[in-house]
Amino acid sequence: MGKHKSETAQQKSPAEFFASNQAIAGFDNPGKSLYTTIRELVENGLDAAESIGSLPEINVTVEELSREEFNKYRGVKGAEGRKDENLFKDRGGSKRDSTGSEKEDTYYIVTVKDNGCGMSHSSIPNMLGIVLSGSKYGVRQTRGKFGLGAKMALIWGKKSTGIPVTVVTSHTKNPGEVPAKVSKCILDIDIYKNLPRVEEHTERTNHSSFVGTEFKLCIGGSWKSHGKFIKSYLQKLAVITPYASFSFDFVPGTGSKTTKVSLSYPRTSDNMPPLSKHVKHHPSSVNNLLIQQLLDISPKKTLLSFLTGELSGITKPVALRIISELSCGDSSFSPSMPPSSVTQTQINRICQILKTVTEFRAPDATCLSPAGEYNLRLGIQQHYNPDHLFTHTLKPGAVDGHPFLVEVGVAFGGSCREKINVTRFANRIPLLFESGSDVCTKVCAKGIDWKAYYIDPVGSRVEVFVSIVSTKVPFKGTGKEYIADNVREIKDKVTRGIQACARQIKEILGVRKKLGDAKARRSKLTRYIPDASKALFGILQEVVKRNAEKPQEYAALISSVKSKKVTVDSFSDKLKLMVNEEVTKAEESDLIKSKGQGNHPDEQNFYIGPVKEEEFEWGKTVDTGKVFFVPRGKRHKFEGWGDA
């Protein structure tokens, strides 16, 4: 058979799998990879802070590296050290990108610092260096897309630059506590073995009172193509997370044409939503694998206690009914059978039954952690300063055994952009891509009759915010960037939420319209006064001229026209008087109504809880005892963090 290379069954590690299928995790291209890296690290930071009840504080720095700087950074010789120039000759323009500029990979040092729980010294390598290492016992509303967190960023860093990540962390379980030690770890990941490869792992005394974690990665990317998404992501994240403070700095490389960017979104609330809880799987959401897994690890002794104890929403009577239904086709099923004795065929049968039974209690939505109308409202108010803002939270629903909750905010006027703009959040993370296919965008474009709410979809400035939280957001597409509009439950809630907000805007606009009507009424009536008075007076003058005989009751009138006591103006003055009286009456009644509808200027202001950290202040923040009174008006510029 000669030189036939024998097929070897290669085992792929999870890390290897993700390394070769980066697009699934949002690492489609360098630009997107830069965006996703920042995203993953920022979300990790938020989770880390929230897990110990600290108000999150996230600082992101992106430093662009010129080629020389990059080579210097990684200690590799660049173009200046080339021996054979022909080797690098441009061949037929194939190395030019679509913009026509010379395609040269750009490299960035991304630093993300949080004030979270940190990692214990010994666990650092395993937490970062093994893909899919986390335990997934139960379900929970999470921010991240896959639970891959920083690991994909690590893989991307290794792939694009080969430079390991530097982590500085100090571990604590209590907010406000300054840990005594701080750890530093430089590592990368052995993709084939799916194991960490540690270069440095040290621990020293925490002299600088360091709290949290700081990641420093050097990765390939493209600020040019995805910088705008990164900025937009942070801005939207700040809207939905007003209890966190964010700062972002982009430092261009030497000789780069890009401009420096500095963003800061200070904390405007200390009202942090409660942590989402782990809950047991709902029977409607199970599959064969999951049942298998649960059966394997369950400490329960009987099938009955397994059903009632390991899954949510099954009462004992329902469990008994399910088992008797199961035993109908297979007599070996009994309430007392041990979970370990269930065969694969029986698992299939259990799954089939569980998925079709409708007697379960609805999935428990208390495990969800929505942003809260308060935070949503505050975030929108600070970022868009709209004329009118209404929020609405809908009752929780469920899709395939997974609870979900929809919160909607609709802002009108102010600094809102023109037309109807939609901002989407899934599990409190902004969704930026594929908005055209998303259920929220589609509902806004087609499902809402804006004109019925006196909102002109083209001329008005409207921002719509839809936040959906769920233990499993029904994303569509591999990128997990949008929710399809074929999930009826979600579509209904989104529609109803937007309608509820739009209805309130309609009331205000309706009053405005009525006031406008009164004005129009006045001008319309006034317009006809001259014509009507002239016509009347014209005939009267002729009557006087003709000296016709008229009944006694008109004698006084005729003589005053004759003596010019009554003129055209007498008529127009009287009519003007009438118009003023009539219209004022109508206006007053409308105004009374409008006051009842919350259009009073004072009611537009916000009362928010105290902000503990005092490094910054809103320009006119007034201490009114327990609450802060934030006046309406332009967002005040953030001056700085102090000594950060």
Q: Which of 505, 512, 497, 491 is nearest to 465 (CA)?
A: 497
The residue among 12 and 574 lying less far from another protein, judged by its C-beta, is 574
Which phi and psi (to 5°) does residue 635 adopt?
-65, 135
Distance from C-alpha of 408 to C-alpha of 538, rounded to nearest angstrom:
63
Shortest distance, CB of residue 507 to another protein, whole angstroms?
23
CB of 524 to another protein, least distance (A): 5
Q: Least separation, in Å, of the C-beta of 564 and another protein?
A: 14
In the complex, which residues of this chain contact another protein (CB under 8 A)?
A: 520-521, 524-525, 528, 531-532, 534-540, 542-543, 548, 550, 553-554, 557-558, 566, 570-571, 574-575, 577-579, 581-582
Distance of closest approach, residue 583 Cβ to another protein, in angstroms: 10
**Whether the Cβ atoms of residue 609 and residue 242 lie closer than 8 Å to each other:** no
Amino acid at 288: N
Backbone Cα Rg of the chain: 34
Q: In the structure encoding, which two tokens stand for residue 158, read together?
A: 């290794």
**Toward another protein, which CB reaches closer, 28 or 582?**
582
| Cβ closest to another protein, residue 452 vs residue 520 | 520
Give the whole-angstrom CA distance, residue 400 versus residue 139. Answer: 13
* Residue closer to another protein (CB basis): 494 or 540: 540
Which C-beta is closer to another protein: that of 195 or that of 536?
A: 536
Which CB, 260 or 585, lies closer to another protein?
Answer: 585
Minimum separation from the CB atom of position 577 to another protein (A):
5
5 — phi, psi (to 5°)? -80, 125
Amino acid identity, position 447: G
The angle, 0 to 180 degrees and rounded to 10, between the axes of the packed helices 316-329 and 344-356 is: 130
Kind and range of the H or E element at 606?
strand 606-608
Instruction: Confirm if 490 and 399 have CB atoms less than 8 A apart.
Output: yes
**Helices 344-356, 288-297: inter-axial angle, 10-degree rounding:** 120
Token pair, residue 33, equals 């990879």
**Looking at beta carbons only, is 456 or 581 nearer to another protein?**
581
Min separation Cβ 508 and another protein, Å = 24
Q: Which residues contact 458 (CB under 8 A, 6 or more apart)?
A: 419
Of 260 and 550, nearer to another protein (C-beta) is 550
Q: What is the closest distance, in whole angstroms, from the C-beta atom of residue 441 to another protein in the complex?
A: 42
- The neighbour count for residue 301, using CB atoms within 10 Å, is 13
Cβ nearer to another protein, comparing 166 with 572: 572
Strand pairing class (419-426; 475-476): unpaired
Minimum CB separation of residue 241 from another protein in Å reads 51
Least separation in angstroms between residue 402's CB and another protein is 56
Nearer to another protein, 328 or 556 (CB): 556
Q: How far is the CB of 578 from another protein (least distance, A)?
A: 4
Residue 283 and residue 321 in contact, taking contact as beta carbons nearer than 8 Å: no
Least distance to another protein, CB of residue 573, Å: 9
Q: Which is nearer to another protein, 255 or 551 (CB)?
A: 551
- Work out the end-to-end distance of the chain between its first and last CA atoms, rounded to an integer number of angstroms: 70
How many whole angstroms separate alpha carbon 420 and alpha carbon 492?
19
Q: Is 436 exposed, middle or buried (0-12, 13-18, 19+ CB in 10 A)?
A: exposed
CA atoms of 480 and 32, how far apart (whole Å): 14
Tokens of 638: 């953030």
